[in-house]
Structure 1
Amino acid sequence: MFSRQRSAPEPLPESQPSATTGADNLNQGKGRPTPRRSQAEAARKRPLVPSDRKAAIRAQRAAAKDKREREYRAMQTGDERFMPARDRGPVRRWIRDYVDARRNLGEYFLPVALLMVFSTFVTAGNPTAGVVVILVMYTIVLITIVDAVILSRVLKRRLADRFGAEVPRGSRMYGVMRAFQIRRTRLPRPQVRRGEYPA
Structure 2
Amino acid sequence: MSRSAKSAPQPPAENSSAAGTPTKVGGKGRPTPSRKEAEAAARARAKTPRSRKEIAAANRKARESASAKVREAYRTGDETHLPSRDRGPVRRFVRDYIDVRFSFIELLLPLMVVVLLLGFVPSESVRASSEILLLGVMLFIVLEMVFLRMKLRKELKARFPEADLKGTTYYAISRAMQMKFMRLPKPQRKIGDALGENYR
**Fold similarity call, TM over 0.5:** yes
Q: Whole-Å Cα distance in 1 between the matches of residues 125 and 65 of structure 2?
A: 56
Cα pair 1:99 1:175 within 8 Å, conserved: yes
The one-letter amino acid paired with 1:137 is: L
Shift of residue 117 of structure 1? 1.0
Aligned-partner Cα distance in 2 for 1:197–1:159: 16
Select between 51-60 and 156-165 the one with higher mean Cα deviation: 51-60
> Structure 2-normalised TM-score?
0.69
Partner of 1:107: 106
Decide which moves more: 166-175 or 95-104.
166-175
Amino acid at match of 1:155: L
Report the equivalent of 1:144: 141
Residue of structure 2 equivalent to 1:181: 178
Equivalent position of 1:87 in the other structure: 86
Gaps in structure 2 of 5+ consecutive residues: 1-48
**Aligned Cα RMSD in Å?**
1.6
Q: Return structure 1 stretches of 4+ with deviation > 3 angstroms.
A: none
What code does the residue aligned with 2:67 have? R
Q: 1: CA distance between counterparts of 2:90 and 2:52?
A: 42
Q: Structure 2: how far apart are the matches of 1:100 and 1:75?
A: 15
1:117 equivalenced with 2:120 (yes/no): no
Equivalent AA in structure 2 for residue 184 of structure 1: F
User: Which one of 158, 161, 176 corresponds to residue 161 of structure 1?
Assistant: 158
**How far, CA to CA, are the matches of 2:194 and 2:169 in structure 1?**
16
Other-structure match for 2:15: none
Return the alpha-carbon distance in structure 1 between the equivalents of residues 105 and 192 of structure 2. 17
- Alpha-carbon deviation of 1:86? 0.9
Residue 61 in structure 1 maps to residue 56 in structure 2: no
2:79–2:87 contact (8 Å) kept in structure 1 = yes
Q: Distance in 2 between the 1:141 and 1:100 partners? A: 21
